[in-house]
Amino acid sequence: MRAMILQRQRQPMTLRDVEVPQPGPGEVQLRVMACGVCRTDLHVVDGDLHEPRLPLIPGHQIVGRVTALGPGAARWRIGQRIGVPWLGGSCGHCGFCRTHHENLCDNAVYTGYQRNGGFAEFTVAREDFCFPIPDGFGDEQAAPLLCAGLIGFRAYRMAVEVGSIGDRPALGLYGFGAAAHILIQVARADGRRVCAFTRAGDAQAQQFALSLGAEWAGDGARQPPFALDAAIIFAPAGELVPQALRAVRKGGRVVCAGIHMSEIPAFDYDLLWGERSICSVANLTRYDGEAFLPLAAALPIRTEVHVYPLAAANQALDDLRAGRFTGAAVVVP
């Protein structure tokens, strides 16, 4: 099969012919139909995340059809369309796993990081860490739901836990990319007011946010026209943390949703005082998929995708790095 191989971090992936992977016990083999491009892939390639299993096939928002079953695998049938997320497996017996916090397992492995991912024609995955893809989504449209959607939804649930002190709860989204363009649809369906924060001068992203129902859109350094109950930071920019704290009301919450963030600058205690809080989101659980994917189908969520052929996966990452598109990028073998 053809696959994009990362031999060394901070270097481009190379397109190579490699053996088709075979499923082991409890695994399934899939023909990859589409694989979303995530900022985490960018962090892996750029060396911001330091524990990849090289050489590596990146990509962790995989939509595929089952082509073979490993020994003992019985959850899925041949030909069924399923999705493979970032969390590729956990130990299943530590305290975190036993209390439904498998996302915090110290021995978890991740798709496109310690397990080969979806920038390829075939992949294998643990059958118990895959999800059914709802009908109504094309392969390309479903792919961003598997990380931008799932981890975004986990961040959203943390954000809305603080409740609202007004009649119309208000949410800020910092970094209006793949995750935010999905989450704004969930928030608007919940009756929330949304403010979208983008890169300075990114009129295209601001207009995109407004078209999806944002009441206000502007640069991340600006303050919104009304206080926020909570804010989610998707951009990997630490300087946005004090900015978001300024924007949330007393008792509000700032959720840092990325797996990597630049250094957070020092800020006055006054920004945190008033029972404001900061928390992070780490990975996802299978419950997040079981809760979010049916919701995405019911609303329904509409994803804006920009499709790249497999050989252009490096270009997709570069376009993401430079902010050249709105919505999400998807690689199709």
3-state secondary structure at position 155:
helix
Measure CA 115 to chain center: 17
Residue 198: how many CB atoms within 10 A of its CB? 27
Mean pLDDT of 133-156: 97
Mean pLDDT of 171-193: 97
Same domain? For 221 and 199 the reply is yes
Please check the confidence at residue 46 and state whether its pLDDT lies above 90. yes
Dihedral sign from CA coordinates of 180, 329, 33, 105: negative
pLDDT digits (tens, 9 = 90+) for 21-33: 999 999 999 999 9
pLDDT digits (tens, 9 = 90+) for 192-237: 999 999 999 999 999 999 999 999 999 999 999 999 999 999 999 9
Q: What is the CATH number of the domain that holds 274?
A: 3.40.50.720
H or E element that contains 33: strand 27-37
pLDDT digits (tens, 9 = 90+) for 78-119: 999 999 999 999 999 999 999 999 999 999 999 999 999 999
How many domains is the chain partitioned into structurally?
Answer: 2
Characterize the bridge pairing of strands 216-219 and 193-198: parallel
Q: Rounded mean pLDDT of the chain?
A: 97
Same domain? For 32 and 110 the reply is yes
Single-letter amino acid, residue 146: L
Q: Which domain holds residue 247?
A: 150-280
Please check the confidence at residue 56 and state whether its pLDDT lies above 90. yes
Characterize the bridge pairing of strands 109-110 and 248-256: unpaired
Same domain? For 92 and 165 the reply is no
Same domain? For 171 and 253 the reply is yes
Same domain? For 44 and 125 the reply is yes
Same domain? For 107 and 63 the reply is yes
Question: What is the rounded distance in angstroms from the CA atom of residue 144 to the CA atom of residue 328?
Answer: 7
Same domain? For 303 and 236 the reply is no
Same domain? For 326 and 208 the reply is no
Q: What is the CATH number of the domain that holds 61?
A: 3.90.180.10
pTM higher than 0.75, yes or no? Answer: yes
**Whether the Cβ atoms of residue 277 and residue 158 lie closer than 8 Å to each other:** no
DSSP state of 146: G
Tell which residue, 209, 158, 189, has the closest CA to residue 297: 189
Mean pLDDT of 275-299: 97
Same domain? For 276 and 288 the reply is no
Same domain? For 158 and 247 the reply is yes
pLDDT at 167: 85
